[in-house]
Structure 1
């Protein structure tokens, strides 16, 4: 498996937009594939936020994760967020998500970021808890119950 930045493979935008629309399109406006493709062009960065790390297996895109600003407007003081962690179905259970999350944390460190937040619909914290993320609180955001978590890095 190879980890790269989206800026190194911008042709991956269309696939990531399809994944995100299929997985989270129910959340609300701005989540159609076309709208997401437009938004994801903002992630073509390598040394500033927002950015996306992608996972490839023999040139096949198998996953993605974002490092971005202010994901949840109810937390204006929580600046940096991990989001959009997605692994395509046939590659799940193989450590891809963990590698993507670790790569995002490593990138955040190089950018001088010392704390990252996330939201998950898994109230147990799942993989994030295993990787050392701490629960902050459970909230309902845009009609969806989520667990907000934080990791100091």
Structure 2
């Protein structure tokens, strides 16, 4: 992992909101095409809480965002009783394979743990092995919005959280 990469909370007034929204829209916009790019920007901005749920984190290298992950209330409309969720884990292709996604996932876990949460969820079509290595357990396989996905869950332990200033 490059030492120059730091993980920081995203603020709603940050110029990086558009970058994060662009990544999310390009990667997962097909799952909710009615949202549109402007709606995606508004959604990301609304998820930039000051702590707990919701919260967005960004991996930064020399003031440039290279990845992101979020802690949100609900990421799957067909499972509204499951809450909260790890969502929108994304790392730029040229930065993959350096442990950034794992660090982002762990940072979101720290945030969840710091607010007293004991369990949370994610869904993924193809990253089960990554999340499995990080302690996530498969819960359910289903088709969501036309895509085969796995819902996974994570029970949190008592590791101490860390914090950093936002961008």
CA contact (8 A) 2:18 2:41 kept: yes
**Superposed, which structure 2 residues align to 1:5-44 within 5 Å?**
5-7=9-11, 10-44=14-48
Structure 2: unaligned runs, 5 residues or longer = 157-167
Q: Distance in 1 between matches of 2:35 and 2:82?
A: 23
Match of 2:99 among 82, 95, 100: 95
- Number of residues paired by the alignment? 152
TM-score normalised according to structure 1 size: 0.93
* Deviation (angstroms), 1:35: 1.6
CA contact (8 A) 2:52 2:114 kept: no
CA contact (8 A) 1:62 1:87 kept: yes
* Deviation (angstroms), 1:48: 3.4
CA contact (8 A) 1:70 1:79 kept: yes
**Greater Cα offset, 44-53 or 108-117:** 44-53
TM-score normalised according to structure 2 size: 0.85
After the TM superposition, which parts of structure 1 deviate over 3 Å for at least 4 consecutive aligned residues? Answer: none
Deviation string 1:58-117 (CA, Å, 9 cap, x unpaired) is 111000001001211222321110000000111011100000000000011111111010
Which is bigger in relative contact order (C-alpha 8 A, separation at least 6)? 2
More helix by share: 1
* Deviation (angstroms), 1:28: 2.5
Q: Distance in 1 between matches of 2:16 and 2:119?
A: 28
Task: Tell me the residue number matched to 1:108.
Answer: 112
Q: Distance in 1 between matches of 2:36 and 2:16?
A: 16
